[in-house]
Structure 1
């Protein structure tokens, strides 16, 4: 009985240390938080939703993870959201797909995490003005609202 208890205790301790190690690695890799407001007027080439607006907070981890809280207002239900690489006033390629998990939505707010590469995460943090976030929906499939990071 004592041997079984010891084995079980050891397994619990090893599992706990593993979780702490992973959490510590992500925590240590966390480098920065970025925020921006979004609007239909910023969509390029446009038009975006003239009444649409929103706000996004990004937590960027150099290990290759972007966690975000996205709040939208006066737009239809989002169907997609992305981080693109391009300066203000230009359209650019998607570099991070921000999952739109409708089950994870709370009203007009969505909090989730998306994978990326460590190189992209580092560049977003080093040059945030070279990136923007946009949100798509059925009426505006090319983009309903957009916000430039680093503004």
Structure 2
């Protein structure tokens, strides 16, 4: 699958998610894929999603709601082999300084495992692209998306302005 097609697909998913056109409510139908059996080709057809906000941010002291109280965003990605192609949108947020996928369960901060292009400043702001991802990490992300979270950082909220757990939607 070409990078251009993957990037376009990820961006389209992010825009559809942001406008509420194509998907169910944010947390409906999330899957942690426990007990899922199937080949990697089947898994790679899933779209990874997130609906980010400041209430989901966890402070260094473990306090929930440490992010931007007005910030919102969407994230989507598809993985093909060693490429993760993504789309991010943000609104009501200061200029994004960084964007990542972290390893960590809900209510726990974790290390950065994938660096994404930060959305451009604007209301809304957006970014998209493709990045290399190691095979083991790609498989783990597809099999156990709830063990990872999306995070967008700003100067005002360097630990994270908006966040959401990664969840999978079958494409």
Spell out the pairing of 1:7-26 with structure 2 (5 A cutoff): 23=2
Q: Take 1:150 and 1:108, find their aligned partners in 2: how far apart are those partners?
A: 22
Question: What displacement does 1:106 show?
Answer: 9.6
Number of the residue aligned with 2:153: 136
Distance 1:128 1:92 in 2: 14
- Measure the CA separation in 2 of the matches of 1:72 and 1:101: 7
Deviation at 1:102, TM superposition (A): 4.4
Corresponding residue to 1:36 among 50, 53, 60: 50
Q: Is the 8 A contact 1:72 1:109 kept in 2?
A: yes
- The alignment's TM-score, normalised by the length of structure 1, stands at 0.74
Q: How does 1:100-115 map to 2 (within 5 A)?
A: 100=118, 102=120, 108-115=125-132
Q: Which structure carries more helix by proportion?
A: 1
Please say if 1:51 is aligned against 2:59: no
- 1:25-75 Cα offsets, whole Å, 9 max, x none, are x989644211110000101125100010101011122x2211111010100
- Partner Cα separation in structure 1 for residue 49 and residue 119 of structure 2: 21
Please say if residues 99 and 114 of structure 1, whose CA atoms lie closer than 8 Å, have aligned partners that are also in contact: no
Aligned residues: 127
Structure 1 residue runs of 5 or longer lacking an equivalent are: 1-21
Which of these two proteins has the greater Rg computed from alpha carbons? 1
Any unmatched runs of 5+ in structure 2? 7-39, 60-64
CA RMSD of aligned residues (A): 2.8
